Structure 1
């Protein structure tokens, strides 16, 4: 049952991630995006550690320190890389390159270092989903193909791919809540200097506090608990491809909440994204059903 539900946990996480852009749009004017990222990580780390203390579920023994540090560093690096890329290249190019490159990079990293060759259905789903992601952002006005910005966006995609692969090792040895809390607390410490570099007085504003709490608790803490829970029963490459539900959610919220309009090509992109994700979910469910049948006949 856990194996069959795993893709849906990841999709639920992607849906929560997809609310990030809308929440940022509702933040007070003049808030620096890197400051939002640093505040989000700080709130997430405090919230997760509070949950651990309340449930008394943290076990300090048996943690692979190298994997823990790599996961924390990858997640900390993703924030400034992604937001800087978006600033330099625009939302459309920065998002497509960062989010679209992550599944391919994750599949290649698994292939090169873990000797896990992605299945054909993963390639089909990934190509469909990335094509859909590109078309989805085709209505985003003028873009700037800044080479440095594209490199930063690729770095963000690589950071998320590395985090996913390393975090899978953590959630196989520790409960998802413990793994996420440990990683994000360390990431928050790594990003804490940004809290002193950028103005964060907007958090004292009621509107700003609401945005910060939503980003820190809902789109980060809760979302990554769901993602890690699904990741414990899903390959890293599959998990990253399913996370492409994030731009789909962001686009739908833009239409419903921010009154944005999508072009015909963008709606075609929505269809391709849904098709790619659906193919992967169907394949995962079929594989799980086959494995259960084999276990019963064994």
Structure 2
């Protein structure tokens, strides 16, 4: 039963990640995106550590230091790379390249280093989901393909793919809560300099605090804890493809909260995304009644 809940945990995490764009849009003026990203990790890390301390279940024994550092660096790099890519080459191109490249890079890493060849179903799902993302963001803005922005977006996608792969290794031998608490605390430490580079006066306002808490606790702490729990039962390549529910959530929130509208092209993109994700959620009839392994 728990194995069947793996994809659901990943989807719930993606839904929470999808709130970040709307939340940032509601942030006070002067709040730099990179500063928001650094604050997000700091609040999330503190929240997770407090939960661990309250439960009293943290164990340092046999903790893989090198793998943990790699996971934390990957997550720390993702924040400035993604936000910088969006600022350089635009929201549409930056988001599609970063989020769309992550599943492909994750599948290739598993194939090359873990010798786990992605299934045909995964390729179909990933293709449909990425095509959906392309259509969903197609009419967001004029296209501005900047080579530097593309490289940074690809770097963000690679960072997320590595984080997912490494985290899956960690949650096999340690509790999900302990893993995310350690990883995000370290990630926050790596990004601490950004808190001194950018103006942080916005955070003391009522709206600033609300944005920081929502992004840190819900969109980071709770979301990545769910993601880590899902990784116990889902391969990293499948998890990253399921995470493409994030832009779908962001688009729908933009419509209902920010007053944006969906074109026919965007609606087709949503349908393709739902179809692609659906292929991974519902196993084939042949596997029903058997133990499901999401590869």
Given the two structures, how large is their TM-score scaled by the length of structure 2? 0.97
State the match for 1:40 in structure 2.
40
Shift of 1:291: 2.1
Shift of 1:286: 6.5
Tell me how far apart the structure 1 counterparts of residues 283 and 244 of structure 2 sit (CA, whole Å). 17
Kept in 2, the 8 Å contact 1:41–1:188? The answer is yes
Greater CA deviation, 140-149 or 160-169? 140-149
SS at match of 1:184: helix
Which aligned runs of 4 or more in structure 1 are off by greater than 2 angstroms?
283-289
Shift of 1:289: 3.5
State the match for 1:282 in structure 2.
282
Tell me how far apart the structure 1 counterparts of residues 199 and 142 of structure 2 sit (CA, whole Å). 30
1:152-163 aligned within 5 A: 152-163=152-163
Tell me how far apart the structure 2 counterparts of residues 281 and 136 of structure 1 sit (CA, whole Å). 21
Q: CA RMSD in A?
A: 1.2
Shift of 1:228: 0.4
SS at match of 1:116: coil
Tell me how far apart the structure 1 counterparts of residues 285 and 199 of structure 2 sit (CA, whole Å). 47
Kept in 1, the 8 Å contact 2:75–2:160? The answer is yes
State the match for 1:265 in structure 2.
265
Shift of 1:283: 2.2
State the match for 1:206 in structure 2.
206
Change (3 A) 1:289 1:234: farther
Shift of 1:284: 7.8
* 1:50-95 Cα distance to aligned partner (Å, 9 max, x none): 1111000100111111110110000000000000000001100000
State the match for 2:63 in structure 1.
63
1:232-243 aligned within 5 A: 232-243=232-243
Kept in 2, the 8 Å contact 1:11–1:242? The answer is yes
Tell me how far apart the structure 1 counterparts of residues 284 and 187 of structure 2 sit (CA, whole Å). 31
State the match for 1:296 in structure 2.
none
Given the two structures, how large is their TM-score scaled by the length of structure 1? 0.96
Q: Please state if 1:218 is matched with 2:218.
A: yes
Q: Alignment length, in residue pairs?
A: 292
Tell me how far apart the structure 1 counterparts of residues 285 and 28 of structure 2 sit (CA, whole Å). 43
Structure number with higher helix proportion? 1
Tell me how far apart the structure 2 counterparts of residues 114 and 288 of structure 1 sit (CA, whole Å). 27
State the match for 1:92 in structure 2.
92
Q: Please state if 1:136 is matched with 2:136.
A: yes
Change (3 A) 1:284 1:221: farther
Q: Please state if 1:18 is matched with 2:18.
A: yes
Kept in 2, the 8 Å contact 1:76–1:188? The answer is yes
Kept in 2, the 8 Å contact 1:38–1:194? The answer is yes
Shift of 1:143: 2.4
